């Protein structure tokens, strides 16, 4: 069975229809809304599988279907669908993980009165995300990109009666919109330079040779290639969406949303959209690589931002005490890895890590959700503990996710994808700094994940909530088990042969793996796991108030890390103030300058009117009297709005007509 590109819209349309069903249901239509959402997601998964088999039949082909959206001048603005292995793998992942998270939500959101709305928003998200994946136009991608932002906004603020959730939703929308403005400008520039926004269009698309060549051959004021400038602007969008430094600040706050949302949107799929975007426009991002004498290559920036983010996220995660925030910063860090991979030239490694990460990070978040659900919404790991006994399935699956994330060798998919990234970073010719940053992050990742597992599941319960915890219902544990199996099985994508790499990029030749590099990373993982266990596992925390060993050793550093490097404070003191000052300045101009000029003119009119009237009364005393009085009335009304009537102003109009007639007579006389 094959799927033509023309029918690709089925994939996003299915969840979109489910969202519409959910929106039109009354609040009591819980079962129908949830049933429609899950059924649509499973159906979309099946269609995606067909799409994947179609795409893999000829991995090098780009199946496209373009169509006109609306007329624009003599031509039309066209959008399109695109099917290639990248799209197909992403669609399968999103629908599969999505369906599991939808099922998990059945149990997790059971008691919520807005249950129906939750599934409506989830479906809306899935539709937008899938639309983003199948888009063959940067504009269509941007449209869906904004819509996933909307869904994310709605879902972060799902418990909108909580002020913190409402604030977090707004922060996420605004922060990502800052990046999106860069993306918008990049898109406009691209459109202006090439006259198209279609990725592939039989040779006329922006990712095809002709357009890329011309973009790399033009230069901007600073000596940058136009393709570099456009690439960097597009990258701004990815920085915002994928929580990269310096726009990562919204992602930890986004954990205010229900945990399935964190798993689906803020770990597995939406935040990976930035990575997908860069992978999608990779030919454009790398178009400047052929130029030797330019001050900057776009991908160099991508690599450094990714490395900084990977290291920073891992550092901050070490000092967090909220189970979801540890995972959130871990997500920031892992997304940094993906960006790093893109930057150093291996988009295939980035997508591989994106896929494996989606499974094990969704697993970890849902595991955290299971813990939070059974521990009466306790999220502070200092108040948890000892859950290994009562929550066996959750513990076992969470441990698998933790090992996959840490990169425990051979058995777990995370090991292979991380290995691919380290390998690529090691081979980068521009600098080795990102590689070293990634190595340090490897140790830290293993360390904070060990700490998280030790604090949550080992020792003994440190609060009543944790003491009364019990295993979650089957709708929640079954998705955990399936995701855990996937976290292991996905190793097969890379081992024993690099199958995924061949499918995604058939032209790439696979290099032999550096055994020494692999040994090094295994040693580093072991170091992280060992030190984590030595500090947190061997002597578990006794009570929620007992001191953290690291904080005792270095209180200042840990406090600084726990405060997320004070980015929020920094931004509040700079951009926040700048914004408030701009608003105050604009308002000041409104009141004093523009308003002031008008008042001044009114006073002037009043004065003229006065003089006029005096003159009239003493000299002319005739038909113009009323006119000047009205002029005076004008001024008065303007400044104090006390006198005057509309008839007068109508007469003012009449005066105008008189002038007109006079001019006509003059004109006639000529």
Q: Could you tell me the smallest distance in angstroms from the CB atom of residue 595 to other proteins?
A: 5
- Cα separation, 356 vs 534, whole angstroms: 28
Using CB under 8 A, count the residues that bind other proteins.
Answer: 67
Piece in contact with other proteins (CB under 8 A), picked from 240-248, 383-391, 552-560, 632-640: 632-640
- Is 642 exposed, middle or buried (CB count within 10 Å of its CB: 0-12, 13-18, 19+)? exposed
Piece in contact with other proteins (CB under 8 A), picked from 249-257, 304-312, 472-480, 645-653: 645-653
Task: Closer to other proteins by CB, 159 or 436: give it.
Answer: 159
Piece in contact with other proteins (CB under 8 A), picked from 161-169, 287-295, 430-438, 540-548: 161-169
DSSP-derived secondary structure for 95-161: HHHHHHHHHHHHHHTTT-TTHHHHHHHHHHHHHHHHHHHHBSBHHHHHHHHHHHHHHHHHHHTTTTT
Task: Closer to other proteins by CB, 11 or 487: give it.
Answer: 11
Ranges within 67-86 binding other proteins (CB under 8 A)? 69-74
| 649 binding other proteins? (CB under 8 A) | yes
Greatest C-alpha distance within the chain: 109
| 637 binding other proteins? (CB under 8 A) | yes
Q: Long-range pairs for 162-166 at CB < 8 Å and ≥24 separation?
A: 162/256, 164/256, 165/256, 165/257
Ranges within 168-207 binding other proteins (CB under 8 A)? 169-170, 173-174, 177-178, 181, 184-185, 188-189, 191-192, 195
Are the CB atoms for 116 and 33 separated by under 8 Å?
Answer: yes
| 222 binding other proteins? (CB under 8 A) | no
Piece in contact with other proteins (CB under 8 A), picked from 393-401, 444-452, 468-476, 648-656: 648-656
| 669 binding other proteins? (CB under 8 A) | no
Piece in contact with other proteins (CB under 8 A), picked from 66-74, 104-112, 493-501, 551-559: 66-74
Q: Which of 1, 57, 111, 161 binds other proteins (CB under 8 A)?
A: 161
DSSP-derived secondary structure for 231-296: HHHHHHHHHHHTT-TTSTTHHHHGGGS-HHHHHIIIIISGGGHHHHHHHHTHHHHTGGGG-SS-S-
Task: Output the six-digit token pair for 366.
Answer: 């849902």
Mark 113-142 with x for binding to other proteins (rule: CB under 8 A) and - for no binding. --------------------------x--x
Mark 333-372 with x for binding to other proteins (rule: CB under 8 A) and - for no binding. ----------------------------------------
Ranges within 580-599 binding other proteins (CB under 8 A)? 582-587, 589-590, 593-595, 597-598
| 219 binding other proteins? (CB under 8 A) | no
CA–CA distances in Å: residue 256 to residues 118, 158, 318, 325, 548 = 14, 9, 20, 10, 25
Task: Closer to other proteins by CB, 177 or 388: give it.
Answer: 177
Q: Which of 67, 160, 410, 592 binds other proteins (CB under 8 A)?
A: 160
Task: Closer to other proteins by CB, 150 or 610: give it.
Answer: 150
| 653 binding other proteins? (CB under 8 A) | yes
Task: Closer to other proteins by CB, 185 or 562: give it.
Answer: 185
- Partners of residue 198 on adjacent β-strands: 137
Q: Which residues contact 658 (CB under 8 A, 6 or more apart)?
A: none
- Cα separation, 32 vs 18, whole angstroms: 10
| 293 binding other proteins? (CB under 8 A) | no
Count the Cβ atoms, other than its own, within 10 Å of residue 556. 8
Question: Which candidate, 505, 534, 561, 349, places its Cα nearest to that of 438?
Answer: 349
- Cα separation, 274 vs 241, whole angstroms: 6
- Cα separation, 226 vs 213, whole angstroms: 11
Task: Closer to other proteins by CB, 18 or 529: give it.
Answer: 18
Are the CB atoms for 308 and 321 separated by under 8 Å?
Answer: no
CA–CA distances in Å: residue 135 to residues 61, 132, 429, 521 = 16, 5, 33, 37
Task: Closer to other proteins by CB, 56 or 68: give it.
Answer: 68
Mark 530-569 with x for binding to other proteins (rule: CB under 8 A) and - for no binding. ----------------------------------------
- Is 577 exposed, middle or buried (CB count within 10 Å of its CB: 0-12, 13-18, 19+)? exposed
Q: Which of 42, 49, 50, 167 binds other proteins (CB under 8 A)?
A: 167
- Cα separation, 198 vs 196, whole angstroms: 6
- Partners of residue 67 on adjacent β-strands: 79
Task: Closer to other proteins by CB, 26 or 512: give it.
Answer: 26
Q: Could you tell me the smallest distance in angstroms from the CB atom of residue 664 to other proteins?
A: 5
Are the CB atoms for 550 and 535 separated by under 8 Å?
Answer: yes
- Cα separation, 225 vs 193, whole angstroms: 12
Piece in contact with other proteins (CB under 8 A), picked from 357-365, 507-515, 615-623, 658-666: 658-666
Task: Output the six-digit token pair for 55.
Answer: 């795409």
Binding site for other proteins (CB under 8 A): 69-74, 139, 142-144, 146-147, 150, 157, 160-163, 165-167, 169-170, 173-174, 177-178, 181, 184-185, 188-189, 191-192, 195, 579, 582-587, 589-590, 593-595, 597-598, 634, 637-638, 641, 644, 646, 649-650, 652-653, 656, 659-661, 663-664, 666-667
């Amino acid at each position: 069975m094959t799927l033509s590109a023309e029918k690709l819209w089925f994939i996003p349309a299915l969840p979109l229809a489910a969202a519409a069903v959910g929106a039109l249901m009354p609040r009591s239509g819980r079962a129908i809304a949830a049933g429609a959402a899950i059924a649509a997601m499973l159906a979309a998964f099946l269609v995606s599988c067909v799409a994947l088999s179609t795409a893999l039949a000829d991995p090098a082909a780009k199946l496209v279907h373009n169509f006109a959206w609306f007329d624009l001048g003599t031509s039309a603005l066209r959008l399109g669908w695109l099917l290639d292995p990248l799209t197909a793998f992403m669609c399968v992942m999103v629908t599969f993980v999505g369906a599991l998270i939808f099922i998990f939500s059945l149990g997790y959101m059971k008691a919520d009165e807005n249950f129906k709305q939750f599934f409506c928003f989830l479906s809306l998200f899935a539709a937008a995300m899938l639309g983003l994946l199948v888009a063959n136009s940067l504009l269509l991608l941007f449209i869906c990109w904004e819509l996933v932002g909307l869904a994310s906004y709605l879902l972060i603020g799902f418990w909108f009666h909580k002020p913190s959730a409402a604030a977090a939703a707004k922060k996420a929308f605004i922060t990502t919109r800052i990046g999106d403005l860069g993306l918008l400008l990049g898109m406009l520039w691209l459109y202006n330079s090439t006259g198209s926004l279609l990725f592939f269009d039989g040779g006329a698309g922006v990712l095809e040779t002709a357009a890329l060549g011309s973009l790399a051959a033009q230069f901007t004021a600073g000596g940058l290639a136009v393709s570099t400038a456009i690439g960097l602007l597009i990258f701004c969008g990815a920085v915002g969406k994928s929580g990269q430094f310096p726009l990562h600040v919204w992602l930890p706050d986004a954990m205010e949303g229900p945990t399935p949302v964190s798993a689906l949107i803020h770990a597995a799929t939406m935040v990976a959209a930035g990575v997908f975007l860069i992978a999608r426009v990779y030919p454009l991002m790398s178009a400047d690589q052929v130029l030797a004498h330019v001050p900057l290559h776009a991908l160099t920036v991508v690599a450094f931002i990714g490395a900084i983010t990977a290291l920073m996220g891992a550092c901050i995660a070490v000092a967090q005490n909220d189970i979801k925030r540890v995972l959130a910063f871990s997500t920031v860090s892992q997304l940094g890895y993906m960006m790093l991979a893109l930057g150093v030239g291996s988009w295939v490694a980035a997508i591989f890590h994106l896929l494996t990460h989606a499974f094990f990070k969704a697993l970890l978040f849902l595991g955290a959700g299971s813990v939070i659900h059974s521990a009466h919404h306790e999220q502070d790991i200092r108040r948890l503990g000892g859950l290994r006994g009562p929550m066996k399935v959750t513990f076992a699956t969470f441990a698998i996710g933790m090992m996959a994330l840490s990169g425990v060798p051979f058995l777990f998919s995370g090991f292979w994808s991380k290995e691919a990234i380290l390998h690529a970073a090691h081979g980068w010719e521009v600098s080795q700094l990102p590689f070293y940053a990634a190595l340090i992050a490897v140790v830290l990742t293993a360390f904070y994940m060990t700490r998280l597992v030790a604090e949550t599941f080992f020792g003994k319960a440190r609060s009543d909530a944790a003491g009364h915890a019990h295993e979650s219902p089957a709708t929640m544990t079954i998705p955990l088990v399936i995701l855990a199996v996937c976290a292991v099985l996905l190793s097969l994508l890379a081992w024993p042969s690099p199958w995924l790499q061949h499918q995604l990029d058939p032209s790439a030749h696979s290099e032999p793996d550096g055994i020494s590099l692999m040994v090094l990373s295994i040693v580093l993982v072991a170091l992280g796991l060992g030190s984590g266990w030595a500090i947190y596992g061997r002597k578990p925390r006794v009570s929620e108030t007992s001191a953290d060993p690291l904080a005792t050793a270095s209180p200042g550093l840990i406090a600084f890390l726990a405060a997320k490097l004070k980015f929020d404070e920094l931004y509040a003191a700079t951009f926040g103030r700048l914004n408030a000052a701009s608003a105050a300045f604009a308002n000041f101009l409104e009141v004093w300058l523009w308003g002031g000029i008008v008042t001044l003119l009114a006073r002037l009119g009043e004065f003229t009117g006065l003089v006029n009237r005096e003159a009239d009364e003493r000299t002319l005393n005739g038909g113009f009297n009323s006119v000047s009085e009205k002029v005076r009335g004008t001024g008065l009304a303007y400044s104090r709005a006390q006198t005057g009537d509309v008839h007068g102003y109508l007469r003012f109009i009449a005066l105008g007509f008189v002038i007109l007639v006079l001019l006509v007579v003059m004109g006639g006389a000529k």
